[in-house]
A = this chain, B = another copy of it.
Amino acid sequence: MKIAILGFGTIGSGVEQIVNEIKSKDLMDCEVVKILDLPKNKDKSNLIVCDIKEISEDDSIDLVVETMGGIHPAYEFIMECLHHKKHVVTANKAVVAAHMTDFLQAAKEYEVEFRFEASTGGGIPWLASVQKARRVDEISSFYGIFNGTTNYILDSMNLKNEEFDVALKNAQELGYAEANPSADIDGYDVQNKVTISAALAFDAKIDMNEFPVFSMASITHKDIEYLKNHHQMIKYIGQAIQSNHQYEAFVMPMVFDEHSLEANIPSNFNIITLNGNTIGELKFYGQGAGKLPTANAIVQDILDIKNNMYYGSVSLDNELVYSDTLLQERYLIRTNSIINSACIDHIENLGANFYITTKAITTKEFKELSRTVLEKDEKAMIAKYM
């Protein structure tokens, strides 16, 4: 099987490394033959070409790995490769979340495979497990820590008594966070991953713009200390549930009991949980990002395509309508402004600027609550209780 890689950054070079390693052990008859990158990077490998047509129109290439990231030109390049009857494997969550339906339709039309295990949960075999679980069960819900950068930040704030900015800066120096950290800390990364996971878990088209996404940048060291004193920990969570042809999803900070697994996820690790009607609760933990774990997931997709392995059919045909009244939860608020029952129903003052809803409320009610709070104090921290 002859492979081309689009983008020779961290992940792309990891894919070449692993393919070469297992090829040298005679474990797989696969070979990277071309790598698309910019002319300035030509000295990085003698396989580098600079025009997508040198790959898409090369009939000897069977499979294309896309590791460029971003929507454009990744979307056009993936479509072009599918149209030229090449299997495509990608780690690019942004383009998959936005265009999964197009890619799956094109792959079906041109009788090739489109796979994206590495796009969600990095090295964790999460999407394959979701598809496999759905062969037998209805998956009613999933939730988890889908982003290693924000977990690293929260873990550092907790262990080293650091403020958010200091933990973020350390994460950037270690390469865990981007120079512009917004995609991680404001939730767009998790939004993409929840969209992809929900599409596979519920076998439905999911519009990523339908569900609410809250940043975790408002979490302070004071919040973590407060929760620690109450034997709790805050984590940054993506969740989705389905029920009666409706679904609900969100990305936001969530409070966990100190003895939950989520509260104890260290460093930049991820953990994701699914619930099925016969399997019960399954949790998957591992490196959600990084060169070799992500490249490993890509190579697993390559091997699955080579071995004709299908974890379960994906039609995205279930009609699911977004609802903000499925979940009923309690919320914790920390704000410097004063909240009282005159402005918000069902609220209790816990002291030290912390408030809690006195009963479980729907997401619809919560949206109104958060609007009221954030209008008065844009730095307020709002978290859901698990």
Contact = CB atoms under 8 A, between A and B. Distances in A.
Count of chain copies:
2
Contact of A264 (B260, B280, B285, B310): B260
> Which 9 A-B residue pairings sit nearest by Cβ, starting from the closest?
A283-B285, A278-B292, A282-B286, A278-B296, A279-B296, A280-B287, A123-B279, A259-B264, A261-B261
A371 interface: no
A82 B373 CA distance: 67
Contacts of A4: none
13 contacts: A18-B136, A22-B135, A28-B135, A123-B279, A124-B282, A137-B296, A269-B281, A278-B295, A279-B287, A281-B287, A283-B284, A285-B285, A309-B310
A259 B158 CA distance: 12
Interface stretch (A64-72, A171-179, A299-307): A299-307
A53 to B, nearest CB: 31
A328 to B, nearest CB: 24
A115 B135 CA distance: 18
Range class of the A interface residue count: 35 or more
Given A125-B132, A278-B293, A282-B285, 5 more contacts: A22-B136, A135-B300, A135-B303, A136-B300, A280-B290
Nearest to A312: B303
A28 B136 CA distance: 9
Given A22-B136, A125-B129, A136-B303, A286 B296 contact: no
Interface of A: 18, 22, 27-28, 123-125, 129, 132, 135-137, 259-261, 264-266, 269, 271, 276, 278-287, 290, 292-293, 295-296, 299-300, 303, 307-310
Contacts of A123: 278-280, 282
A345 to B, nearest CB: 34
A136 B303 CA distance: 9
Contacts of A308: 308
Residue among A22, A123, A261, A266 with max Cβ neighbours from chain B (10 Å): A261
Contacts of A310: 307, 309
Contacts of A303: 135-136
Nearest to A290: B280
Nearest to A295: B278
A295 B278 CA distance: 8
Residue among A137, A266, A310 with max Cβ neighbours from chain B (10 Å): A137
Given A18-B278, A283-B286, A27 B135 contact: yes
Contacts of A282: 123-125, 284-286
Residue among A129, A136, A300, A303 with max Cβ neighbours from chain B (10 Å): A136
A278 B136 CA distance: 30
A136 B279 contact: no
Contacts of A276: 296
Nearest to A18: B278
Contacts of A27: 135
Contacts of A269: 281
A280 B279 CA distance: 26
A269 B300 CA distance: 28
